[in-house]
Amino acid sequence: MKTVSDILKTYWGYDSFRPQQLAVIDAVLAGQDVLTLLPTGAGKSLCFQIPTLYQQGICVIISPLIALMQDQVKDLTHKKITAVQLGGQLNSEEESIIMQDAIEGKYSFIYCSPEKLSQNSFQEFLKKIKVSLFAIDEAHCISQWGYDFRPSYRKLSILKKLFPSIPILAMTASAVPIVQTDMIKQLALQQPRIITDRFLRPQLKYSIQKVAVKLHTLRNILNQVNGSVIIYCNTRNNVSQLTQLLKAYQYKVDEYHAGLTLEKRKQTQHMWMQDEIQIVVSTSAFGMGINKSGVRAVIHYEIPGSIEQYYQEAGRAGRDGKKAEAILLYQPNDWDYWISVQEKKFPPIDIIKQVFQHLVDYVQLPIGMGEKQQFVFDFDTFCNRFEIDKMIARNALQWIEQEGHVSFSSASFKPSLVQVLADRYTIENFESQHQILGIVLQTLLRSYGGILDSPQYINESVLAALLQRDIYFVQTNLKKLQEYGLLSYEQKENQPVVQFNWNRAAASFMKLDLDNYILRKKAFQERIQQFGRYILGQDLECRSTFLAKYFGENSPQPCKICDLCTSTKK
């Protein structure tokens, strides 16, 4: 019989496991629930892939990011291992074909998004296949205490209820003790094995530079770095602006954030991985699952939202074990950004109620009606009609959804994205030769100022109204323009709909779980305050030991290389 090492060698070509991998694999094969806390790049994927190939049966992986799932499915398929992804781009017909194949035992690995689990049909499907393991990627997303809470992850708590005898492997790169406890509780893990690694990175030099003119300091740093660099900013705008500035200074640099097309993002990532560009300026969207050697510096141009986030991002430097720097550029008024985020993220209860009232007005739901009814819900139109700030609206709606009043389809908050690829001359030329397409293109350019320079979220129904046609007309013609190579069009996944889960009561009766609200607000504030301690903490001796203790390590040793350890004042 083949051993797990044989499988590793045959499919992956690696000679040996890393120590923690073997521990996880053994525990999984023993049928235990497992929680692994290992840094990005540690090789967590193998921890569920190898046992599945060894013991047969199907592994169902739940992951928050479609792109990550696609990569893994591609990777496995390439190795002649049967894997498939459910959810995302498939229509229901394609999905039922795949499900049928799965029932017949065609796939060893099934990737799906957490939302899927709330569908009855999907739960029934899971009962029909031979699941041997549930693997939950980025499991910290389940905890409201975590920095990356995703309401959809809460649905995972039904796994143990429906399948009490199937083991769960929960994986994450970082979790403070309180989030660990929460993950175990929410997923109802039974006497889980907790497998983790030391958190310290002996070769990573942490430092904070309080500066008046950041760009100046940044350039000094960049001029000395010999290797790849990531620079993190908090907003897409800041990413774009900084990228332009650095380009003007002739650095080999490009930008990365969720507002760019998938194609552009892939291209930037690829060029950076291949060392064709030295620097990526990015929001926190960049880096999950990336494992590149030769990264000599990670620079935070602004204060990140939590220690967890900072630790993960900074830890992308020096993966190869050679010396690297994690530098934070700091200015006291950087805190203003987080104060405004907090105000938007936690709208007053009155505002949440008001947004709920707007929602029922928007779908024109009479009192006493609504249960299990679905309505088309267009987020942009909604915000425009009631003149609500988008971030406030989004967060208020999220609260309402979490309370179980309504459910939004996943397309509700992700509009279509268009990027114009042709220059003005080509466009004018094209417009003169194509009547209908020309008008569509013109309307697009007029409605979205700046679309010639950067990709923009668009709203097909707005364009349809301007053109006095229907949405289908707009979609078809945008696709045609894409075929002509004039633009790229990432159409929003599905018709965004909102479903009411019970009959409408007056908004003032809407029961809000205040405990939850207060808990999450407190957790948010605490994360920011913790970061304040990291930056300013008078009692801090060493940055590394501060981080290690934060993640629950008992008596870490000073690193001797961070700015505090080497400070002359000591």
Does 458 bind ligand ADP (CB under 6 A)? Our answer is no
Amino acid in the structure at residue 409: S
The interface partner of residue 292, options being ligand ADP, Mg ion, none and the CB cut-off 5 to 8 Å by kind, is none
Nearer to ligand ADP, 174 or 243 (CB): 174
Least separation in angstroms between CB 548 and Mg ion: 22
* Alpha-carbon span 186 to 149, nearest angstrom: 13
Least separation in angstroms between CB 293 and ligand ADP: 11
Nearer to ligand ADP, 45 or 283 (CB): 45
The interface partner of residue 108, options being Mg ion, ligand ADP, none and the CB cut-off 5 to 8 Å by kind, is none
- Tell me the Ramachandran region of residue 294: left when phi exceeds 0, alpha when psi lies from -120 to 50, beta otherwise: left
Instruction: Find residue 300's DSSP bridge partners.
Output: 232, 328
Amino acid in the structure at residue 219: R
In this structure, are residues 334 and 561 in contact, taking their beta carbons and an 8 Å threshold? no
Residues 132-151 that bind Mg ion (CB under 5 A): none
Least separation in angstroms between CB 320 and ligand ADP: 12
How many other β-carbons are positioned within 10 Å of the β-carbon of residue 517? 17
Nearer to ligand ADP, 125 or 310 (CB): 310
* Alpha-carbon span 249 to 216, nearest angstrom: 11
Q: What residue is closest to Mg ion based on CB?
A: 44
In this structure, are residues 219 and 176 in contact, taking their beta carbons and an 8 Å threshold? no
Least separation in angstroms between CB 163 and ligand ADP: 24
Residues 33-72 that bind ligand ADP (CB under 6 A): 38, 40-46
| DSSP letters for 80-119 | T--EEEESTT--HHHHHHHHHHHHTT--SEEEE-GGGGG-
Least separation in angstroms between CB 44 and ligand ADP: 3
Does 282 bind ligand ADP (CB under 6 A)? Our answer is no
Nearer to ligand ADP, 288 or 463 (CB): 288
Residues 286-345 that bind ligand ADP (CB under 6 A): 289, 291
Nearer to ligand ADP, 236 or 292 (CB): 292
Interaction pattern, residues 21-60, with Mg ion; x per rule: CB under 5 A: -----------------------x----------------
520-531 b/e (C-beta count within 10 Å ≥ 16 → b): beebbeebbebb
* Alpha-carbon span 399 to 393, nearest angstrom: 10
Instruction: Pick the closest to residue 50 from 115, 104, 14, 5 (CA basis).
Output: 5
Structure-token pair, residue 322: 């050679």
Least separation in angstroms between CB 6 and ligand ADP: 14
Residues 393-422 that bind ligand ADP (CB under 6 A): none
Does 14 bind ligand ADP (CB under 6 A)? Our answer is yes
Least separation in angstroms between CB 331 and ligand ADP: 32
Amino acid in the structure at residue 55: Q
Nearer to ligand ADP, 29 or 437 (CB): 29
User: Within 374-470, where are the H helices?
Assistant: 379-386, 390-402, 424-433, 435-447, 460-467
Least separation in angstroms between CB 64 and Mg ion: 11
In this structure, are residues 280 and 254 in contact, taking their beta carbons and an 8 Å threshold? yes
Q: Are strands 456-458 and 416-420 parallel, antiparallel or unpaired?
A: antiparallel
Nearer to ligand ADP, 291 or 454 (CB): 291
User: Which region, judged by CB under 6 A, interacts with ligand ADP, from 12-20, 263-271, 279-287, 499-507?
Assistant: 12-20
User: Within 235-299, where are the H helices?
Assistant: 236-248, 262-273
Residue 51's contacts (CB-CB under 8 Å, 6 or more residues apart) are 4, 25, 28, 29, 59, 133
Least separation in angstroms between CB 36 and ligand ADP: 9
Does 135 bind ligand ADP (CB under 6 A)? Our answer is no
Nearer to ligand ADP, 292 or 394 (CB): 292
- What DSSP designation does 12 have? I
3-class DSSP assignment, residue 132: strand
Q: Which of 17, 251, 256, 301 binds ligand ADP (CB under 6 A)?
A: 17
Give the Å distances, CA to CA, from 21 to 32, 45, 140, 155, 233: 15, 9, 19, 27, 33
Helix (H) or strand (E) holding 62: strand 58-62
Residue 97 has φ and ψ, to the nearest 5°, of -65, -45
Interaction pattern, residues 432-471, with Mg ion; x per rule: CB under 5 A: ----------------------------------------
Number of residues engaging Mg ion in binding (CB under 5 A) = 1
Number of residues engaging ligand ADP in binding (CB under 6 A) = 14
- Tell me the Ramachandran region of residue 43: left when phi exceeds 0, alpha when psi lies from -120 to 50, beta otherwise: left
Least separation in angstroms between CB 40 and Mg ion: 7
Least separation in angstroms between CB 328 and ligand ADP: 23
Least separation in angstroms between CB 491 and ligand ADP: 29
Nearer to ligand ADP, 41 or 438 (CB): 41
The interface partner of residue 214, options being Mg ion, ligand ADP, none and the CB cut-off 5 to 8 Å by kind, is none
Does 108 bind ligand ADP (CB under 6 A)? Our answer is no
Does 552 bind ligand ADP (CB under 6 A)? Our answer is no
Which spans of this chain sit near ligand ADP (rule: CB under 6 A)?
14, 17-18, 21, 38, 40-46, 289, 291
Binding site residues, Mg ion, CB under 5 A: 44
